[in-house]
């Protein structure tokens, strides 16, 4: 007997999404490659920033309110008119960075304080990118296991062990250094400060959600203009991982056709 159910499993869609954000000054994308390279390592284009891992999925909501229209000749409503639309996005950000908190909690400016370092010295040997052993020109007790060092003007790396003038690093250096470059013991790590107050201006941003279909092709939802909502956001300090509740309220963008002035979708066929 022939199967009466017409099912195409290629149309099943699931899996996580990649949530990214940009300022309103960045043009709304017309294709997926406007946001992300389509080949490994799938880097974002200028102006777009990853919000990182999420927990318990990402949901986009869309709904509308209606008002009944009644006439004398009909018992009950004869028609309904749409009175308002609501659009939003909700998730929990698992990467609880200061930048994500600034966005989700309407934080103030991030003030960065650079690392404090001790007396530097030139390297005792050149370093290739990827090296994990630093040779000092002179032994210095300020370089110690569990501490940090700075190479050049900005690269900070944790020290795993020290033996005389040989310093072993926990992670590899990101670039090459010569014997004219300086290495410094770090006495205090850099810091970032952010405040949360009674700001009244929550900025509009553009948001994009990218996901991959079963056949490897891509889907992208673009929210043209959205603000972080003012719903209470609770962060629990306990044994579990601390996630960051994140809710958006979307608004229509001026000068765009009504059919897609809030959000639109692009998918590879």
Residue by residue, DSSP assigns 10-68 as: GG---S-EEEEEEETTSPPPSSGGGTB-SSTT-PBPTT-EE---EEEEEEEEEEEEEEE
Q: For residues 47 and 50, give the distance between their C-alpha atoms in angstroms, rounded to a whole number.
A: 10
Scanning the structure block, which residue is given the tokens 């909501």? 61
- Predicted confidence at residue 148, as pLDDT, reads 98
Do 265 and 30 touch, CB atoms closer than 8 A? Answer: no
- Predicted confidence at residue 81, as pLDDT, reads 76
Could you give the count of Cα atoms lying within 13 Å of 208 in the half-sphere of its Cβ? 30
Q: For residues 60 and 29, give the distance between their C-alpha atoms in angstroms, rounded to a whole number.
A: 18
Does the predicted TM-score (pTM) go above 0.85?
no
Residue 1 has pLDDT above 70, yes or no: no
Residue 178 has pLDDT above 70, yes or no: yes
- Predicted confidence at residue 67, as pLDDT, reads 81
Over the stretch 44-79, which tens digit does the pLDDT of each residue have? Answer: 999 999 999 999 899 998 888 778 888 777 787 877
DSSP 8-class letter at 90? E
Q: What is the mean pLDDT of residues 205-230?
A: 92
Residue 9 has pLDDT above 80, yes or no: no
Could you give the count of Cα atoms lying within 13 Å of 65 in the half-sphere of its Cβ? 4
């Amino acid at each position: 007997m022939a199967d009466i159910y017409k099912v195409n499993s290629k149309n099943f869609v699931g899996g996580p999404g990649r949530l990214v954000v940009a300022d309103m000054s960045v043009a709304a994308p017309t294709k997926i490659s406007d946001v992300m390279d389509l080949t490994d390592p799938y880097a974002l284009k200028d102006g777009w920033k990853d919000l990182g891992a999420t927990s318990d999925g990402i949901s986009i909501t869309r709904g509308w309110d209606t008002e009944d229209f009644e006439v004398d000749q009909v018992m009950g409503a004869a028609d309904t008119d749409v009175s308002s639309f609501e659009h939003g996005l909700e998730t929990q950000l698992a990467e609880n960075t200061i930048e994500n908190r600034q966005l989700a909690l309407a934080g103030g400016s991030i003030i960065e304080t650079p690392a404090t370092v001790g007396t530097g010295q030139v390297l005792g040997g050149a370093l290739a990118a990827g090296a994990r052993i630093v040779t000092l020109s002179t032994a210095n007790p300020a370089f110690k296991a569990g501490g940090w060092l700075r190479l050049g003007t900005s690269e900070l790396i944790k020290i795993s062990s020290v033996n005389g003038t040989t310093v072993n690093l926990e992670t590899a250096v990101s670039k090459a250094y010569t014997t004219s470059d300086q290495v410094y013991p770090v006495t205090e790590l850099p810091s970032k400060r952010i405040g949360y107050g009674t700001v009244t201006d929550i900025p509009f941003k553009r948001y994009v959600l990218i996901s991959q279909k079963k056949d490897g092709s891509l889907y992208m939802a673009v929210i043209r203009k959205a603000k972080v909502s003012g719903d209470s956001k609770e962060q629990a300090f306990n044994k579990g991982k601390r996630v960051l509740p994140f809710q958006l309220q979307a608004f229509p963008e001026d000068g765009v056709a009504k059919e897609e002035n809030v959000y639109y979708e692009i998918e590879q066929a």
